[in-house]
Amino acid sequence: MAKTANAVTLPAGDERTGTDDVIRTLSAAKHVREFSPFHEPAYQIDPGELVYVETLCAGSGKIRRSAKAGSNAELRQKVGWTVGMPMTGPIAIAGAEPGDALAVFIEAIDFEDSGWTDVPIGQGPTAGLVTEAEVRVLPIRDGAIDFGFGLRLPLTPMIGAIGTAPRDRAIDSGVPEAHGGNLDCTLARPGATLFLPVNVPGALLSLGDLHAAMGDGEVGSAGLEVNGSVTLRTGLIKQATMPLPLVDVGEVVATISSAPDLDEAARQAVSAMVQWLSTATTLGVNDAAMLVSLAGNLRICQVVDPLMTCRVEIRKSILTTLGISLAAIGLDFPA
C-alpha cells in the first residue's frame, strides 16, 4: 500500500536566495531509481512554493571522459556508468490527493559546462549501423555545444524524466508510462507547465535525466546528458478531467502517450486529444477528429526507451476559442 505523505517526518532542504524569493534546494543526494508508491518522501513542499531541485545525469553524475569499447557493458565499466537513472525525490506536495492533477511549472534549467552523449551497440534505430559503443563528452562554451567538425549546436535544455508515483506498483526510472517517467519530451523545457496524475497522497514527484540538448526521437540513445538543476513550482488542480500527462508550452498544448510500439503510442496520443476535445467542448467526436487532423501535429518524443512515446500538439489559441482553459487558479504561474 502507498504510504501517506503526511505521516512521516520530512527534511526541508537547504535555503538559497533567488532573484525574487528565498527558495529551498532539494539535493540530488536524496534520489531514487524508480517511481514508486512505496518510497518515503525525501522532501515535502507546498503548492506554489519555488524550489531548486538538483539532479544527477543519467549516468549518476560519474561520466567525465570519452571512451569507446567493443560492448556496451565494457563501455559502461570504462566510464563508471551506474545503471539506473537517479531521480531526485520523491517530493511530496502538500494537499495532493488521488484524482488531482499536479501542475509543474519549469522556471529554469541550469547545468554544468559539459555533458555526454552515447551510441550503444544493438539498440534503437542505429542498431544495425553502430559496431563500436561510444561515450563522448562535449564541452558547453559561450551558450552552445562544441560538437567538433566546426559545428556549434544550440542549447535546448529539457527534463528527460519526470513523474509521480504510480498507484500500486513501482516502475523503473527509465520507463515512460501514464505516471510520466522517462518521457524524453522536448517540450518539458523552461517556460512549460507539465500536468501529471496524482495517484497517491502527496503525489511523490521525482525528476532527473536533464538534457542540455536533444532532438525529437532521441534516436542515438541519448541527449546531451548533464548534471544540473531545475527551478520549479508546483500546483494542484483538484479532481482534474484533462488527459494526463499533458504539457502546455504557451503556444501549443500536447497530449503525451507511451506504448510498446510507435503505432500504439501514436494512437493513444491522438485518442487522448480527440476524446478531450469532444468531452470538454461542444465538439462531437467527428468534429474533434477532423480538427486534430487539420490543425494538430503528431510528433515522436523518443524511440529508445523500453516503451515508445508520442505526443499530439495543438495550438493553444484553438483550445481558448473552444473554451478550454488550463489556468491553474490560485497558482503563481506566468500567464
Phi, psi (deg, nearest 5) at residue 45: -130, 165
Whole-number Å distance between alpha carbons of 227 and 88: 12
Average pLDDT for 194-216: 98
Q: Which three cell numbers stand for residue 292?
A: 486534430
Residues of the chain above pLDDT 70, percent: 91
Average pLDDT for 219-233: 97
Identify each DSSP E strand in 84-186 by its residue range.
Answer: 87-93, 101-111, 114-119, 133-141, 144-148, 151-154, 158-163, 171-172, 176-177, 180-181
CATH 3.30.930.10 fits 250-322, yes or no: no
Q: Which residues of 158-178 are buried (b: 16+ CB within 10 A; e: fewer)?
A: bbbbbbbbbeeeebbbbbbbb
pLDDT tens-digit map of 242-261: 999 999 999 999 999 999 99
pLDDT tens-digit map of 39-77: 999 999 999 999 999 999 999 998 999 999 999 999 999
pTM: 0.92
| Residue 263 neighbours by CB under 8 Å, 6+ apart | none
pLDDT tens-digit map of 81-97: 988 999 999 999 999 99
In this prediction, residue 20 carries a pLDDT of: 54
> Domain 17-237 adopts which CATH fold?
Jelly Rolls (2.60.120)
Average pLDDT for 17-42: 87
Bridging pattern class, strands 133-141 and 176-177: unpaired
Q: Is pLDDT at 9 greater than 70 in this prediction?
A: no
Phi, psi (deg, nearest 5) at residue 268: -65, -40
In this prediction, residue 23 carries a pLDDT of: 84
**Ramachandran area for residue 95 (φ above 0: left; ψ -120 to 50: alpha; else beta):** left
**Alpha-carbon distances of 263 from 54, 253, 254, rounded to whole Å:** 35, 21, 17
Residue 333 DSSP class: -
pLDDT tens-digit map of 112-164: 999 999 999 999 999 999 999 999 999 999 999 999 999 999 999 999 999 99
Residue 326: band (very low, low, confident or very high) from pLDDT cuts 50, 70, 90: confident
Question: Domain extents for the chain?
Answer: 17-237, 250-322
Min mean pLDDT across 11-20, 100-109, 198-207, 313-322 is at 11-20
Q: Is pLDDT at 285 greater than 50 in this prediction?
A: yes
In this prediction, residue 328 carries a pLDDT of: 53
In this prediction, residue 333 carries a pLDDT of: 55
pLDDT tens-digit map of 176-196: 999 999 999 999 999 999 999
Q: Which of 42, 56, 52 is nearest to 205 (CA)?
A: 42
In this prediction, residue 271 carries a pLDDT of: 98
